[in-house]
Amino acid sequence: MSDLLYEKKDHVATLTMNRPERMNAISVAMLAALEQALVDADDDPEIRVIVLTGSGRGFCSGLDLKDAAAGKGIGGSGPVSPGGGAAHISTRALPTVTLQRIDTPVLCVLNGAAAGYGLDLALGCDLRLMSDRAKLVPGFAKRGIVPESGGTWFLPRLVGWAKACEIGFLAEDLGPERALELGLVNRVIPHDELEDAARDWADRIAQNAPLAVAAIKRLYRHGLSQDFESHSHHVLMQLMLLMRSDDFKEGIQSFIEKRDPVFTGR
């Protein structure tokens, strides 16, 4: 079976890391496949939400150390290239970078432990639902390394400086209650209800106007590095474009007619 499963249903693309025997440790091939799958889903006009999860007991245990020991991928002679090799140092084709670049919202479904690169992947998603059996494992300092793919950027923004330092310096596992308390996850869900909850969230997002949802995500991202006045200008420009769309007309008409809107993404 493929190391990465791709399912498309009702405007939702579900990407499932599929090496359950290795707790979904990411191989060089999987790293390249995941990056391409994210790009493909973002480019597909039918896809309005991306769901990222793992198979079996774990979400993702991190990068495959066997690849690193063999000099391949991150931790080897250099990051993976689009073709699956490690020819040069570049972040352009890394999934965590792509997660920040794409406009389609990404819902992370933490079915089990997220460690190392798996934790960075989870933090790079827009929303996180966590099983009450899962945990976050920020044990980088215990392995003599740093969060290599976004953790040092995400954590201070998500939890603030002092809490990020606490997480990074202590390097202790974070259970569901602590992850929720810190704001690292949106909800903690009973494990047996996690799949249904994820589908419900994805469907509810997909029912909203996709152009507006993508624009909100894009403006959130830009707002992290813009001053308020410049950002307000970009928001106004985006608003003027959206008001010309069929979706805007449908949103107004459905409100007047007191019915649920049916958006087409045009």
Superfamily of domain 4-206: 2-enoyl-CoA Hydratase; Chain A, domain 1 (3.90.226.10)
pLDDT in tens, 179-208: 999 999 999 999 999 999 999 999 999 999
Q: Is the pLDDT of residue 164 over 80?
A: yes
Nearest CA among 35, 232, 246, 195 for reference residue 121? 35
pLDDT at 81 over 70: no
Residue with tokens 């920020």: 138
> At residue 248, what is the residue type?
F
8-58 pLDDT per residue, tens: 999 999 999 999 999 999 988 899 999 999 999 999 999 999 999 999 999
CA–CA separation, 19 and 151 (whole Å): 23
> Which two tokens mark 16?
């499932």
Q: Domain boundaries in the chain?
A: 4-206, 210-256
Identify the pLDDT of residue 86.
47
Predicted TM-score (pTM) of this structure: 0.90
